Amino acid sequence: MTQLALVIDLNVCVGCHACVTSCKEWNTSGWAGPMVDQDPYGASPTGTFFNRVQTFEVGTFPNTETVHFPKSCLHCEEPPCVPVCPTGASYKREDNGVVLVDYDKCIGCKYCSWACPYGAREVDAEQKVMKKCTLCIDRITDAKLSERDRKPACVLACPAGARLFGDVHDPDSEVSVAIREHGGYQLMPEWGTKPSNHYLPRQKARMHIDPDELTRVDNPLRKEDLTSYTGEETLDDVAW
Amino acid sequence: MHPAFSVILLTTLIGAGQGLYLAMVTGQLYAIARFLPLQKDQFYALGSLVALVMLVAGLGASFFHLGRPERAWRAASKWKTSWLSREVIALPLVMFLVFAYALAHLMEWTEPLFRVGQSLDVDVTLLLGLLGTLASFALYVCTAMIYAGVKFLEEWHTPLTVTNFIFFGAASGFMLAAAYSAYVGNPLVTFFGTWAAILTLVALVSRVAHLARNARIKHKSTIQTAIGVRHTVLTQRAQGATGGSFNTREFFHGRSDRTLGLVRALYLILVFPVPILLIGAAYVTESSTLPILAFAVQFLGLLLERWSFFAEARHPQNLYYQSVA
């Protein structure tokens, strides 16, 4: 079984929102589009987005750090939004585990958005159907694209390389190795939704340097010699 | 949660409609058992038609909740997993049985079909009444389980949500039956009024228990589990959208805690003591307008109660939108 998913490295994300804009650009002009924009140049712009970057501050000033937190559908292995859908418009693809909405069947009742603890679904104000991240299903399943391009738009756009994409069920995939070796975790594990997307935690880069590494005890080129001599034999007298 | 007026109307209208229908069937059962005088068929028929009007009005209100109402028929397909789908099946079924019950009385199809035991003559109206009663209870459960079945909304995820819906619906329905009897000058007003007062008191117990449970609720999710950072101090600095989004509109009621408290106090007065006092006063004064007033006050209170029910529920996704909450 394949389960495609994203792995997002919070240690790398710089909060530039490139994934947000590339997602909107690709999807508004593709299979999932258009994605409405309301009042885009006014005081209170709003619209449909599959991906957002939020920012959190950890700790109290001055001991704070900033966490940029990209947030999109997690493509749960036990998606709670699917069984509640009265029409069957919401479904999980058998072949690759991507959770999708059939826009031709959705009645826009919003019930699935209630049944998602992550707030990953939203109603498109224009088309009046539920929309959410598709993992760029029209890109990743397009055999005409080269292997390199067969990835979600957000992954290709990320300038820092904070987003990995792959099969989390394949233990040797890049994403599985990253989860395994860098402490990848799931959001709100308490609900048993088994999100497929994982996040890699913030890690402080710390380096321990011994004084020995800065100053060699027996450095022959050392000029500084603080010993005060009073005529006794020194190392220079016995060595040649 | 954001209280949608369409859903508030749907749940209160069909609740009262089913209750009125149950009151009509109860009246007929009491008459069969000779606890009450048998009424003319028109009485049951007209009452059931009023119930049908309420059910149709509720169904009409529900369409305003849908983005694509023209596709509503599709909603019946996933009844195996979705309570919403089950409601979509149960509601027309109840409407059909209520209509058939009214029609059977109107056409006076009261020839006994068969006899059970010594003296119980079973006719079409009784059979339809029993089937309709079962369907009505099924509909109450379906409607309530739409809310009680979502485990993420912990304020709703309790059997008390189901008992609330049943008893609020039955109480307002019996209250409406009393108002209807008073309006047409039928002596059953006392019978329906008494049951309405009893059901209102049972609903009070259920709702107060629900309020007490929710006052002590401990939510499973925290901001720490939401973003996976283990620190006691986590402050949101940006929500990712300038002018809000679906997430900030659908899951927040946008009112102050004071308003919430005010609405709660108001519905606790309007739903419970006032209608009971009005029904009591109607019994003493034999007034034909007070029961109608009692129903109107209680229904207004129930609209506020349902608003409050939505507003009280805190969705875990709100953790990602801290500055709205």
To test the contact with chain B by mutation, choose from A23, A36, A54 the residue with the greatest count of B C-beta atoms within 10 A, namely A54
| CB pair distance less than 8 Å for B85 and A59 | no
Q: Which residue stretches of chain B have pLDDT < 50?
A: 325
Q: Do B231 and A59 touch (CB under 8 A)?
A: yes
Residue B144: in which H helix or E strand, if any? helix B124-148
Domain annotation covers residue B228 = no
Q: Considering only the beta carbons, identify the residue of B74, B225, B241 that sits closest to A105.
A: B74
Is B224 domain-assigned?
A: no
Distance to chain B for A60, nearest Cα, Å: 7
Domain coverage including residue A95: 4-200
Instruction: Give the Cα separation of A39 and B288 in Å (integer).
Output: 55
User: Quick one: DSSP state of residue B223?
Assistant: H
Contact B225 A187 (CB under 8 A): yes
Residue B239 lies in a domain: no
CA distance B146 to B133: 20
Each residue of B94-132: pLDDT tens digit? Answer: 999 999 999 999 999 988 888 888 888 899 999 999 999
Q: Which residues of A touch B251 (CB under 8 A)?
A: 119
Q: How many distinct structural domains can be found in chain A?
A: 1
Q: Please, how many CA atoms are within 13 Å of residue B306, restricted to the half-sphere of its CB? A: 24
pLDDT at position B194 is 96
Q: What is the pLDDT along chain A (240 residues), one digit of tens a residue?
A: 899 999 999 999 999 999 999 999 999 998 888 999 999 999 889 999 999 999 999 999 999 999 999 999 999 999 999 999 999 999 999 999 999 999 999 999 999 999 999 999 999 999 999 999 999 999 999 999 999 999 999 999 999 999 999 999 999 999 999 999 999 999 999 999 999 999 999 998 889 998 878 876 776 776 666 777 787 777 777 765
Q: What is the dihedral of CA A217, A223, A229, A235, to 10 degrees?
A: 60
- CATH code, domain with A87: 3.30.70.20
Task: State how far residue B90 is from chain A, nearest Cα, in angstroms.
Answer: 13
Number of C-beta neighbours around residue B112 at 10 A: 12
pTM, full prediction: 0.91
Taking the CA of residue B233 and the nearest CA in chain A, the distance in Å comes to: 5
Instruction: Measure Cα distances from A144 to A149, A162, A175, B204, B321 in Å.
Output: 10, 26, 24, 64, 40
The answer to whether position B300 is within a domain reads yes
Count other Cβ atoms within 10 Å, centred on residue A23: 27
Contact criterion met (CB < 8 Å) for B317 and A119? yes
Given a contact cutoff of 8 angstroms between Cβ atoms, the answer to whether A127 and A149 are in contact is: no
- Cα torsion A175, A179, A180, A184 to 10°: value is 180
Which among B165, B133, B164 has a CA at the least distance from the CA of B58? B165
Q: How far apart are CA A197 and CA B81, in angstroms?
A: 25
- In degrees, rounded to 5, the angle at the alpha carbon of residue B244 between the alpha carbons of residues B242 and B248 is 150
Complex ipTM tops 0.90: yes
Query: How far is residue A9's CA from residue A6's CA, in Å, rounded to a whole number?
Result: 10
Residue A178 belongs to a domain: yes
B245·A122 Cβ contact <8 A:
yes
Provide the phi-psi class of B254: left if phi over 0, else alpha when psi is between -120 and 50, else beta: left
Q: What is the pLDDT of residue B224?
A: 96
* Residues of chain B contacting residue A80, judged by C-beta atoms under 8 Å apart: 151-152
**Nearest CA to B151 among A5, A99, A78?**
A78
Quick one: pLDDT at residue A211? 80
Q: Which of B66, B229, B242, B321 to mutate to test binding with chain A, by most A CBs within 10 Å of its CB? A: B229
Distance CA A24, CA A163 (A): 16
Residue of A nearest to B223 (CA): A188
Number of H helices, E strands in chain A: 7, 11
Give me the pLDDT at residue B118, please: 83
Residue in A17, A23, A56, A73 to test binding to B, most B beta-carbons within 10 Å: A56
Tokens representing B186 are: 């039928």
In a domain, A177, yes or no: yes
| Structural domain that includes position B43 | 5-217+244-320
* Contacting residues of B for A90, CB less than 8 Å apart: none
Contact between chains at A109 and B236 (C-beta distance less than 8 A): no
Environment class of A70 (CB within 10 Å of its CB; exposed 0-12, middle 13-18, buried 19+):
buried
For residue B225, the chain A residues in CB contact (below 8 A) are 187-190
Best of A13, A84, A126, A193 to disrupt the B interface (most B CBs within 10 Å) is A84
Domain count within chain B: 1
Contact B173, B15 (CB under 8 A): yes
pLDDT score for A225: 64
Q: How far is A165 from chain B (nearest CA, A)?
A: 20
User: Does the residue A10 lie in any domain?
Assistant: yes
From the list B72, B235, B236, which residue is nearest A107 (CB)?
A: B72
Dihedral pair phi/psi, residue A232, rounded to 5°: -75, 170
Contact A123 B245 (CB under 8 A): no
pLDDT for the residue numbered A223 = 66
Contacts of B247 in chain A (CB under 8 A): 119, 122
User: Does residue B56 belong to any structural domain of this protein?
Assistant: yes
CATH of the domain at B19: 1.20.1630.10
Are A33 and A27 in contact by the 8 Å Cβ rule? The answer is yes
CA distance A194 to chain B (A): 13
In a domain, A85, yes or no: yes
Residue A176 counted as domain residue: yes
> How many residue pairs bridge chain A and chain B with CB atoms within 8 Å of each other?
176
